[in-house]
């Protein structure tokens, strides 16, 4: 016996029926053949006898490796899970299954396959899928001059390298008898198909280590398509920053997310097709997913699924350079992952109580949870140590009467470039989101020759994860304890008002929204004059600068000095 028998949810099977299923496992199909009449009749007979559809998985050597009492989408075997073999190759397996609904005629062949079965074909990159319609009357076979007992009609489908004229990603063959299906040269078909894939779809090739992403957005109540498109544009930049290549996007209008899949069930199937069509190996959702939604989506689309929070955490993990930065990122990641350490219901848990749960030992799930808890506790202690260290540093500055000005604002608004321009420093500057993660403080001199400390902080973003704010509170407190805030704004960005609103939301959460704020309208060299004039009228204490062109810096320093004269009357008035 080459493979395994999976009875699924079937109950009350006779011993003779189970023997029939096991005999199917022992059958062999000659090389180059799709199926044999004997196999077709055996599968159709046991399906008719049990009243259940039967799915048979066959490899290219003709071995039956799996027999499942259920539909193709219910077949559970490692060889058909998340196959990523590239556009030039198929997975090397085919599924032959039965359909007990004999009411479907051969002329309705386009309706013969269930949507889930075609999805199984695409998701697993099957060589082909063949459906045997079970009909003891044999109407179709008799019309072709043949006699059958159970296997009346055979339908065959295979995937295409791109959409056809009707927008389909699969090809359906005309209905045929089991004898006609047996005569088909299956080996020649597969070779021709793989050659066509290599020739027609070179752009889908996924390089080793490359992540090709599909972005997913939801247009919910109170939103419009333009807003969601803007959000996906920003998430595209986030994905690029994380190292992924965005190859497609998909949106859906729903009043609220589906509790099971986030998207509606039909849209999830469309997403799975898009993943296969574009050769994607990751799906990124522009909202936070529950653990169940994430797991359910991955089961359908057969690739990794992450949400906006996990994407931002990944970027932070790449960007963290200092020990304290890495520590805070790890804390945020562990807090995010902790509720996602789930097993299959309670099957993996020994903590439920009752018979069978007592005694020594832990499951891997509980071990992982316990280790996570212990690590979170340790990291929280280390974060408190960082906070104490920073408090000590700040007390020293206070003792020296050195005022602190914190640069805050939306990510990629030009904070680090502005710090370099004001303090003549050499902070790393990149045109990427979250280029600066670890805070940096530089000293400069105001027009009256008094010293001031400028602190560059991590940029904010829409829907910034609360776990991230909590983990980075020790760092973000630089903003909360500063004497003056420089709110650096990308004045050339089309969503500048929404960006400023997001910054104020985070400042409010940090208890810093009431601090003296100077709004620095940066990148004026890229913005129109009339837009700048309108924007300046909307914000408190505006100053227009171009950090790259080094214009407006003198006026900004003078403005900082004026504000500090009010809030820090005892500040040091000369440089040491």
pLDDT digits (tens, 9 = 90+) for 78-96: 666 544 445 556 888 999 9
Residue 437's pLDDT band (boundaries 50, 70, 90)?
low
- In terms of average pLDDT, the best of 7-11, 44-48, 115-119 is 44-48
What torsion, rounded to 10 degrees, do the Cα atoms 499, 501, 502, 506 define?
A: 140
pLDDT at 353: 42
| Predicted pLDDT of residue 80 | 63
Neighbours of 27 (CB within 10 A): 19
Q: What is the pLDDT of residue 155?
A: 93
From the number of C-beta atoms within 10 Å of its C-beta (0-12, 13-18, 19+), residue 120 rates as buried
pLDDT attached to residue 567? 86
pLDDT higher than 50, residue 109: no
pLDDT (0 to 100) of residue 188: 86
Q: What is the dihedral of CA 287, 288, 293, 295, to 10 degrees?
A: 110
Residue 265 pLDDT: 82
pLDDT reading at 202 higher than 60: no
What is the band of 544 on the pLDDT scale with cuts at 50, 70, 90?
very high
* pLDDT given at position 34: 92
When pLDDT is cut at 50, 70 and 90, the band that residue 175 belongs to is very high
The yes-or-no verdict on residue 394 having pLDDT over 90 is no
- Over pLDDT 90: what percentage of the chain? 30
Which pLDDT tens digit goes with each residue over 181-195? Answer: 999 888 888 888 888
Is the CB of residue 86 less than 8 Å from the CB of residue 47? no
The pLDDT, as a whole number, for residue 73 is 85
Is the predicted pLDDT of residue 239 greater than 70, yes or no? yes
Q: Tell me, what's the pLDDT at 335?
A: 83
pLDDT of residue 436: 63
Stretch among 66-75, 145-154, 188-197, 552-561 having the lowest mean pLDDT: 188-197
Average pLDDT in the chain = 82
State the pLDDT at residue 310.
87
Rounded-to-integer distance, Cα 72 and Cα 508, Å: 53
Mean pLDDT along residues 457-467: 78
Q: How many CB atoms lie within 10 A of CB 102?
A: 17
Distance CA 497, CA 169 (A): 42
Residue 262 has what DSSP assignment? B
Residue 329: pLDDT band by 50, 70, 90 thresholds?
confident
CA gap 264, 266 in Å, rounded: 6
CA distances to 249, 465, 477, 492, 537 from 530, rounded to whole Å, are 34, 35, 36, 12, 11
352 pLDDT exceeds 70?
no
pLDDT of residue 347: 39
> What pLDDT sits at residue 405?
92
Indicate the range of 42-51, 101-110, 196-205, 216-225 predicted with least confidence. Answer: 101-110
Most confident segment among 347-351, 397-401, 565-569: 565-569
Query: pLDDT band for position 511 (50/70/90)?
Result: confident
The per-residue pLDDT for 528 is: 92
Compute the distance between CA of residue 218 and CA of residue 228 in angstroms, rounded to an integer.
7
Task: Label the pairing between strands 4-6 and 54-59.
Answer: unpaired
For the full predicted model, state whether its pTM sits above 0.75. no
Please check the confidence at residue 398 and state whether its pLDDT lies above 70: no
Burial class (CB within 10 angstroms; exposed 0-12, middle 13-18, buried 19+) of 395:
exposed
319 pLDDT higher than 70: yes
What is the tens place of the pLDDT at every residue in 375-384? 888 888 887 8
pLDDT in tens, 280-310: 889 999 988 988 899 889 888 888 899 998 8
Structure-token pair, residue 405 = 């000005």
**Of residues 345 and 566, which shows the higher confidence score?**
566
Comparison of pLDDT for 461 and 89, the residue scoring more: 461
Q: Give the model's confidence band at 471: pLDDT under 50 very low, under 70 low, under 90 confident, else very high.
A: low
Res 350 pLDDT > 60: no
Among 94, 116, 118, CA closest to 170 = 118
Residue 41: per-residue pLDDT: 93
Position 55 scores a pLDDT of 93
Q: Average pLDDT, stretch 29-54?
A: 92
What whole-number distance in Å separates Cα of residue 280 and Cα of residue 272?
10
* C-alpha separations of 548 from 174, 199, 311, 387 in Å: 65, 47, 29, 33
pLDDT at 418 over 60: yes
Q: Which domains does the chain have, with CATH numbers?
A: 4-204 (no CATH), 212-314 (3.40.50.11060), 321-392 (no CATH), 400-567 (3.40.50.300)
Residues 6+ apart with CB under 8 A from 466: none
């Amino acid at each position: 016996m080459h493979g395994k028998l999976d009875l699924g949810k079937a109950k009350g099977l006779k011993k003779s029926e189970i023997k029939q299923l096991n005999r199917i496992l022992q059958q062999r199909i000659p090389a180059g053949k799709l199926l044999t009449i004997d196999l077709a009749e055996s599968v159709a007979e046991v399906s008719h006898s049990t009243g259940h559809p039967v799915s048979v998985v066959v490899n290219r050597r003709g071995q039956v490796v799996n027999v499942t009492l259920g539909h193709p989408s219910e077949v559970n075997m490692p060889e058909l899970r998340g196959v990523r073999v590239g556009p030039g190759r198929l997975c090397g397996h085919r599924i032959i299954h039965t359909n007990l609904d004999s009411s479907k005629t051969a002329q309705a062949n386009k309706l013969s396959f269930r949507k889930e079965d075609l999805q199984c074909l695409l998701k697993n990159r099957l060589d082909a899928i063949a459906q045997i319609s079970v009909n003891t009357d044999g109407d179709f076979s008799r019309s072709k001059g043949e006699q059958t007992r159970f296997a009346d009609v055979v339908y065959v489908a295979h995937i295409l390298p791109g959409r056809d004229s009707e927008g389909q990603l699969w090809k359906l063959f005309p209905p045929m008898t089991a004898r006609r299906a047996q005569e088909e040269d299956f080996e020649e078909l597969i070779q021709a198909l793989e050659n066509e894939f290599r020739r027609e779809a070179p752009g889908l090739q996924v390089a080793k280590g490359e992540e090709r992403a599909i972005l997913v957005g939801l247009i919910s109540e109170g939103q419009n398509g333009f807003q969601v498109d803007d959000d996906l544009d920003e998430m595209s930049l986030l994905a690029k920053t994380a190292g992924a290549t965005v190859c497609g996007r998909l949106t859906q209008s729903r009043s609220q997310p589906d509790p099971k899949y986030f998207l509606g069930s039909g849209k999830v199937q469309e997403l799975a097709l898009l993943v296969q069509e574009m050769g994607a190996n990751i799906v990124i959702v522009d909202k936070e997913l529950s653990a169940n939604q994430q797991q359910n989506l991955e089961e359908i689309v057969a690739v990794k699924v992450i949400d906006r929070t996990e994407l931002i955490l990944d970027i932070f993990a790449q960007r963290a350079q200092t020990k304290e930065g890495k520590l805070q990122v790890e804390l945020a990641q562990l807090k995010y992952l902790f509720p996602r350490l789930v097993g299959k219901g309670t099957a993996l848990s020994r903590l439920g109580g009752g018979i069978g749960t007592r005694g020594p030992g832990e499951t891997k799930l509980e071990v992982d949870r316990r280790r996570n808890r212990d690590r979170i506790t340790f990291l929280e202690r280390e974060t408190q140590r960082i906070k104490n260290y920073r408090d000590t540093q700040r007390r020293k500055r206070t003792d020296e009467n050195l005022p602190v000005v914190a640069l805050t604002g939306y990510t990629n608004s030009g904070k680090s470039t502005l710090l370099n321009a004001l303090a003549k420093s050499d902070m790393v500057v990149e045109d990427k989101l979250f280029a600066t993660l670890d805070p940096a403080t530089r000293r400069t001199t105001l027009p009256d020759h008094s010293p001031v400390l400028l602190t560059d902080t991590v940029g904010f973003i829409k829907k910034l994860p609360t776990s991230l704010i909590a983990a980075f509170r020790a760092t973000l407190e630089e903003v909360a304890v500063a004497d003056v805030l420089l709110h650096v704004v990308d004045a050339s960005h089309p969503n500048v008002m929404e960006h400023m609103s997001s910054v104020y939301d985070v400042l409010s959460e940090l208890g810093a929204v009431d601090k003296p704020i100077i709004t620095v309208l940066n990148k004026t060299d890229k913005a129109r004059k009339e837009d700048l004039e309108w924007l300046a009228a909307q914000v408190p204490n505006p100053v227009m600068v171009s950090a790259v062109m080094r214009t407006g810096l003198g006026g900004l320093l003078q403005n900082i000095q004026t504000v500090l004269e009010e809030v820090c009357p005892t500040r040091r008035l000369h440089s040491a």
